[in-house]
Structure formats: structure tokens, C-alpha cells
Amino acid sequence: MEEEQTHLNSRKAAILRAIVSHYVRSGEPVGSKTIVERFELGVSPATVRNEMAALEDAGLIFQPHTSAGRVPTDIGYRYFVDAWARDVRLPPDDARRIRRFFTEPRWELEEALRETAALLSRVTDHAALVFAPALDRSVVRHVEVVRLAGDRAMMVLVTDTGRVENHVVTIPGHIDDVQLEQVSEILNKLTADVALEKAATTISEGIERFPLELRGAVSTVVSALSDELSQRATERVFLEGASNIVDEHKFADLETVRGVIGALEHRRLVLEMLADALGGDMVSVRIGSENPMEQMQFCSVITAPYGSPGNAIGSLGVVGPTRMDYRRSIGAVHEVAAALGRMLSELGV
């Protein structure tokens, strides 16, 4: 993951930094003259040009056409991020905004996460994603199987962290309500304070506690439960601010925009983007072609895990054009992840 990056002498580095900074703001290729005028390097444009030629050879910048200035390549952005966008502090305004958001009390987890995504989107002006906590370590508080109609029944499970899972199961009609209540009762005794991820196996192992004629129904419930826990991941992604993708002209053509918006509609793809953030414990940045996905070649994805350090329970991030303010975006993602982690730990999640 951590490759040794190209080494640049300090002047080349300063020039690269100037190019990235200025291009991100202006959106136009940066020429040698502009750099000398706007950034204090103490050298002439000619010197800058020589250095720029070297930077171009190194693949960090390129010229859209012969008589234009330089634009950073994905590799150039990568250098910028590695060298200057680690451990940055947010502008005080943004920091305050985030802090204020998290001082308001929030009880409903889903709502809180959705609003967190909205906040992140507003602060960064990018599309924002929040992947709900895995809650693997949460513990079963209650299980219930309720007859709906015909042979359909509803399995409901509540955890100590306030997560409610429900799934429709098919239970033969000859099992009556009294028996179902019996099932619920035994299920509750079996799984009381059992970790969510172990619930299914705990029930399977305790199957002999159920009357013979009910065991079929119980195993249906067990498989419904495992399904639920594995499949529902995609429903636990919150996306806000997708319209930011259409903003201005940060993306070259409409087809790209369409591709990105389309990709964001696919919960699985979005999940993939957020999934690997769970591994590390730092902010992760994927720039343009570093993204495995076809449609994301012109996007940068910034993600971070949240939860207690070294033990991520979820992740969040933003998606924007490669031409973005990395320092600000990284700072915001970092800050919101930390604040969300704190909030959840106070909530006991």
C-alpha cells in the first residue's frame, strides 16, 4: 500500500504544489508565469519551465496541448496528497459546523447517519456516503416471531444498540399462534445477550430445546436471520448530495457525469468503495485511475473508518472530481469520522 514515492527536490515539490493548488481553484492549466507571479519562489519563469519539463517527464503533470500550461496527472495529485494533505486541520468554520452538528442529541441511528452524510456533503460540496456500523459486537435483546397471514410470519430481532432486523419467513399454517409464542420464548432464552453474529449458530446448536414439530420452522428462522445479516449490507449505505456531481464543469463531459451518478445508484458499487476503508485506520484516498471501477476513472474517493481506534465499525467518505480540494475534503472526512465515532460510542453502539 505504502509505496516509496518519487523523490523531488524542494523546488520541484514547491512548483508541483503550486500547480495543484492553483489548478484546483481555477480549473485552468497553470503556466510558468502564473506560478512565478502568485507563488514566491524567487526564480524566473524560465527556471520554472525547466523544472516543469522534468515534472512532466516524471509523469506528475501534463500539457493539454502545446501552448497551454500544465495540469496535474493522477500521479501528481497523489504526490500532493501524500506530501501535504496528511493530518491537515480544517478551516475553523468547517470544524465548528461539524462540532455543532454533533452536539445535538440524536436517538435514531438511521436518521443520524443520513444526516451525517448530508452534513459531510454540505461541508465538502461533494457527494457523501456513510456506511452504517456493522454492529457485529452488538448483542441480541429480543427475538420474536409473529404470524402475519396464511403461512407467512415475521421474524423481528432487536439488538442492544437499537438495530431492528426483520424478515418475512414462511411457516406452515398448522403451527398455531401458541406454538409460535413458544418458539419466540425459547429463542429469547437461547439468544439473550448473545452477540448478533453468533445468534444464528447459537440457535442451531440449541435446536434440541425446541419441540420436534417446531424444528423445521426454527431452522427457517435461522436461515432468514443469516440471510438478513449478510444481504442487508447494501441497504445500510446512505448517500447524500449526489447533485454536487453535476456541479459546474468539473467533469469534462456529460457522459462521465452520467456514469458517476449511475454508479452511485448501485448500492453494491458504493459499498465496495467504502468497504476497504474498514481495513485501515486512516483516511484513504483513491485518485482517478487508482479506482478499480470503470466509471470512477475521473473521480477521487476519500474514505475513512469510524469507531474506536483500530476497531472500525463503519466507514464514510466523499466522491468528487479528481480536481478537488484534497486538504479540505480529507480534513472534513477525517473530522466527521472522528466525531461520528465519538457520538456512537456515547450512544453505546
Partner DNA sequence: CTTTAGCACTCATAGACTCTGAGTGCTAAA
Partner DNA sequence: TTTAGCACTCAGAGTCTATGAGTGCTAAAG
Query: Which residues in this chain contact its own copies in the complex, by CB under 8 A?
Result: 107-108, 141-142, 144, 146-150, 152, 154, 156, 158, 160-162, 164, 166-168, 170, 240-243, 246-247, 249, 254, 257-258, 261-262, 265, 348
Are residues 155 and 169 in contact, defined by beta-carbon separation less than 8 angstroms?
Answer: yes
Which residues does 335 contact at the CB level (< 8 Å), separation at least 6?
A: 90, 94, 95, 98
Q: How many residues sit close enough to DNA to count as binding (CB under 7 A)?
A: 25
Task: Tell whether residue 17 is a contact of DNA (CB under 7 A).
Answer: no
Work out what residue 31 binds among DNA, its own copies, none; the CB cut-off runs from 5 to 8 Å by kind: DNA
- The distance of Cα 147 from the centroid of its chain, to the nearest Å, equals 37
Residue 347 C-beta: closest distance to its own copies, Å: 9
Q: Which residues pair with 170 in a beta bridge?
A: 152
- Closer residue to its own copies in complex, CB, 32/244: 244
Task: Tell whether residue 67 is a contact of DNA (CB under 7 A).
Answer: yes
Single out the segment in contact with DNA by CB under 7 A; choices: 46-54, 133-141, 159-167, 240-248.
46-54
- Closer residue to its own copies in complex, CB, 68/146: 146
- What b/e sequence results for 22-60 when a residue is b if at least 16 CB atoms lie within 10 Å of its CB, and e otherwise? bbbeeeebbbbebbbeebebebebeebbebbeebeebeb
Residue 17 C-beta: closest distance to DNA, Å: 16
Alpha carbons 141 and 189: distance in angstroms, whole number: 10
Kindly tell me which residue out of 6, 17, 39, 56 binds DNA, with binding defined by CB under 7 A: 56
Judge residue 319's burial from the number of C-beta atoms within 10 Å of its C-beta, 0-12 exposed, 13-18 middle, 19 or more buried: buried
- H or E stretch covering 22: helix 10-26
Residue 156 C-beta: closest distance to its own copies, Å: 6
Alpha carbons 172 and 42: distance in angstroms, whole number: 84
Residue 51 C-beta: closest distance to its own copies, Å: 37
Cell numbers at 249, concatenated? 464543469
Alpha carbons 254 and 179: distance in angstroms, whole number: 59
Work out what residue 56 binds among DNA, its own copies, none; the CB cut-off runs from 5 to 8 Å by kind: DNA
Query: What separation, in Å, do the N-terminal and C-terminal C-alpha atoms of the chain show?
Result: 30
Single out the segment in contact with DNA by CB under 7 A; choices: 36-44, 128-136, 224-232, 262-270.
36-44
Residue 291 C-beta: closest distance to its own copies, Å: 18
Work out what residue 65 binds among DNA, its own copies, none; the CB cut-off runs from 5 to 8 Å by kind: DNA
Work out what residue 161 binds among DNA, its own copies, none; the CB cut-off runs from 5 to 8 Å by kind: its own copies
φ, ψ of residue 203 in degrees (nearest 5): -65, -45
Cell numbers at 19, concatenated? 500547480
Residue 188 C-beta: closest distance to its own copies, Å: 10
- Closer residue to its own copies in complex, CB, 149/212: 149
- Closer residue to DNA in complex, CB, 68/282: 68
Q: Report the amino acid identity of residue 334.
A: H
Residues making contact with DNA (CB under 7 A): 11, 29-34, 42-47, 49-50, 52-53, 56, 63, 65-70
